[in-house]
């Protein structure tokens, strides 16, 4: 692999931690950018935004995302990668991931999967599948471990 960084998607979940471990195993010694993409507003925040005194939810969400990304970068370094943390705001999430990958010209995007199937996947959506569909570059989807 050339010197292009790998982009690891991290949201603090078990699947995201597994994605870091797999990335470190497959791309040992690589440089990684660990990314968490936050929404501009959550559903509850959008209701609260109707209030006269509204905090800057976007900034709060991005700050929380950066803190999670920093935690993920620490895990990536402990696993043997060199890693930087990054956060972005985007809706939908997959779009923020694809844009970040384009900005850093990522060699590969590594993303965990919740392993949803059928109606549950159709209802809740699949960030990993949307990233793979729109990225235009290799995407490694790390499934949950076998039961």
CB-neighbour burial class of residue 3 (10 A; exposed 0-12, middle 13-18, buried 19+):
exposed
Q: What integer is the mean pLDDT of 92-110?
A: 96
Q: Is 39 helix (H, G, I), strand (E, B) or coil?
A: coil
Ordered structural domains, the chain, with CATH: 6-142 (3.40.50.620)
What residues pair up with 110 in beta bridges, in sequence order?
8, 140
Comparing C-alpha atoms, which of 36, 56, 29 is closest to residue 45? 56
- Contact status, residue 138 vs residue 109, Cβ threshold 8 Å: yes
The model's pLDDT over 36-74, given as tens digits with 9 standing for 90+, comes to 998 755 544 444 445 555 556 667 778 899 999 999 999
pLDDT of residue 40: 58
% of the chain beyond a pLDDT of 70? 78
Query: What are the C-alpha distances in Å from 74 to residues 69, 92, 143?
Result: 9, 26, 22
45 vs 33: CA distance, rounded Å = 28
Place of tokens 């991290």: 10
d(CA 84, CA 128): 21
- Which of these ranges, 61-70, 76-85, 101-110, 115-124, has the smallest mean pLDDT? 115-124
pLDDT at 48: 47
Per-residue DSSP letter, 120: H
Return the higher-pLDDT residue of 34 and 118: 34
């Amino acid at each position: 692999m050339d010197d292009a960084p790998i982009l690891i998607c991290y949201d603090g979940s078990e699947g995201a931690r597994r994605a870091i471990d797999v990335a470190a195993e497959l791309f040992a010694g690589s440089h990684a950018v660990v990314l968490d993409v936050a929404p501009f507003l959550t559903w509850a925040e959008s209701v609260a935004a109707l209030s006269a005194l509204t905090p800057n939810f976007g900034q709060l969400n991005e700050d929380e995302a950066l803190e999670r990304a920093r935690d993920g970068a620490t895990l990536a370094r402990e696993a043997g990668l060199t890693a930087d943390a990054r956060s972005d705001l985007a809706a939908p999430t997959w779009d923020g991931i694809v844009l970040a990958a384009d900005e850093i010209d990522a060699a590969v995007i590594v993303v965990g999967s919740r392993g949803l199937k059928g109606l549950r996947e159709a209802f809740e959506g699949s960030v990993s599948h949307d990233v793979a569909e729109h990225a235009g570059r290799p995407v490694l989807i790390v499934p949950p471990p076998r039961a």
